[in-house]
Amino acid sequence: MKWTPGADNSNVEDRRGSSGMSFGRAGMGLGGTAVVLVLSLLFGHNFFADIGGTDTAGPGSAVQQTGNVPPANESPAEQREVQFVTYVLDDVQNTWAQIFRQEGQPWRDARLVLFRDATQSGCGVAQSAMGPFYCPADNRVYIDLGFYDELSQKFGAAGDFAQAYVLAHELGHHVQDLLGTDRQVRQLEQAHPDEANALSVRLELQADCYAGVWANASQQRKELDPGDIDEALAAAAAVGDDRIQKAETGAVHPESFTHGTAAQRSGWFKRGYQSGRPDACDTFQSASANPGQ
């Protein structure tokens, strides 16, 4: 991907150099925290948010920890990575701001929080092991940059545009939040708990498609290099529920999917990229969650 350092970093909160934080609610202890973390990983759900995160900020509360605290031991490679995600954040949001203006919709920027190990979010405790996520309670994307090493080494999805896809996907959730899609899905999940996983899959696939819409705009601006789209497709497929379950347990359980299969995730990203239109990303009106149907 063609990019240059120096993008607007006003929406970036760098907490990597902060002194850390306590985990869990009062009396929870490290053992309890470990149990909740394991459950979160197994079920793909942030149970820390359900129990209120820390004593200082539960779900839906405003996050008071702000400011930029880069780590003292930041390597040149990590510094470059910060510059890259800052550029992508700025580029993705500028793209969506333009799309919203064309549709007569108001746009509000999300913020990006960089952290190491753990930090507090409006949705509870954010931990590295949970991977990147968007919190609608505070309109922030949370990411430990170490995830990109895991994406390359564990999932085999290398390349700068694979990294860009991850951030564009999370910002796709911000788009859903602004449009009210996320709220509507959460209401449906509460009304029909037996359909919660299927609804979650469609929400995630739409975010993949929205990432593809941004990739299309990047292509129109001639920002992409040969192979960039292949990197994004590989990353989308690598984090499919079926591939992750197969790699971690040796078995696949479709009834527990919350994000979609490798084919679905890469397929919806491709659909967004080829169309360049947000209205092509209506995963909820499709007969199935499979792209093209």
Q: Residue 31 pLDDT > 50, yes or no?
A: no
Q: Average pLDDT in the 191-197 region?
A: 94
CB neighbour list of residue 282: distance below 8 Å, 6 or more residues apart? 206
- CA separation for the pair 193, 196 (Å, rounded): 5
User: In degrees to the nearest 10, what's the CA dihedral of 222, 225, 231, 236?
Assistant: 0
pLDDT digits (tens, 9 = 90+) for 90-112: 999 999 999 999 999 999 999 99
Q: How is the chain split into domains, by residue range?
A: 12-281
Provide the percentage of residues in the chain whose pLDDT is more than 70.
Answer: 82
For the full predicted model, state whether its pTM sits above 0.75. yes
pLDDT digits (tens, 9 = 90+) for 156-192: 898 999 999 999 999 999 999 999 999 999 999 999 9
Q: Residue 60 pLDDT > 90, yes or no?
A: no
- Determine the pLDDT at residue 40: 52
Q: Average pLDDT in the 183-209 region?
A: 95
- CA separation for the pair 146, 186 (Å, rounded): 30
Q: Residue 54 pLDDT > 90, yes or no?
A: no
